[in-house]
Amino acid sequence: MTVGEEKFTREHLLEVHPLTPKLFTLRVTRASGFRFRAGQFARLGVRKPSGSIVWRAYSMVSAPHDEFLDFLSIVVPDGEFTSELSQLKVGDELLIDKQPFGFLTLDRFADGRDLWLLATGTGVAPFLSILQDMEAWQRFERIILVYSVREAAELAYQDLLRELPEQEYLEGLGHKLTYVPVVTREQVTGALNGRITQLIEDGSLEQAVGLKLEPEHSRIMLCGNPQMIEDTRLVLKKRQLELSLVRKPGQVAVENYW
């Protein structure tokens, strides 16, 4: 980087879609030189009226090959960042750090047969990026996305998930995906009801999928609120499913999401 060169690019908002009063999706332009691996996140910046910049980390929802960047965001009441972000309109400027970050990527696992993606809330974002990239489909025989929210209206990108297995580039591979929506605060047809830990402990999740969570075959990614991750890790540890580290390969990879 040359002296005086900015560490970020100036992008512009292409689309904003509110899902609920507290949840929205956004699409922004993407600099031609911005490269990332599916599962990574970017630092987004918004300018406050004072001229200062506030930065926050957001996982890419979009695929590494897309010409745009998609993000999923909640509105934090009186939040310094999201209160500004949620007010942006199409055409407004959004700053994006030139360097992607994060290690919730498939190279965390050396092998495995079944890929489990367990998400709460906006933690689904990196998994949507992974599902739109070819690596997961080529490496694993089964891919299970478990997406937990409080109310059904918070289930984002349902059209994408419905249409994904039919995409031309996944010809002959779409059958590998099993999507399990989970809604905790209301009963919804076609969705499981209960916390992810509870669904693992009582066997409901494995029964719904038709697969066992086991060290030999299961590779598990967790993304969402820190309490869910901590609790789920403990439940998985009882089954000898351990965190995957550089010097000690395991079956579990995690990313806290606020």
Could you tell me the two tokens for 189?
């047809």
Given a contact cutoff of 8 angstroms between Cβ atoms, the answer to whether 112 and 251 are in contact is yes
pLDDT for 110 equals 86
Domains and CATH numbers, the chain: 8-97 (2.40.30.10), 106-256 (3.40.50.80)
C-alpha to C-alpha distances, 52 to 109, 141, 165, nearest whole angstrom: 40, 48, 43
Rg (CA), the chain: 18
pLDDT in tens, 222-246: 999 999 999 999 999 999 999 998 8
The single-letter code of the amino acid at 99 is: Q
For residue 123, which of 228, 200, 30 has the smallest C-alpha distance?
Answer: 228
pLDDT, residue 246, reads 82
Residues 218, 215, 112, 133, CA torsion sign? positive
pLDDT of res. 1: 45
H/E stretch holding 83: helix 82-85
Q: What is the pLDDT of residue 87?
A: 86
Residues of the chain with pLDDT under 70: 1-4, 257-258
Q: From its phi and psi, is residue 136 left (phi > 0), alpha (psi between -120 and 50) or beta?
A: alpha
What's residue 257's pLDDT? 65
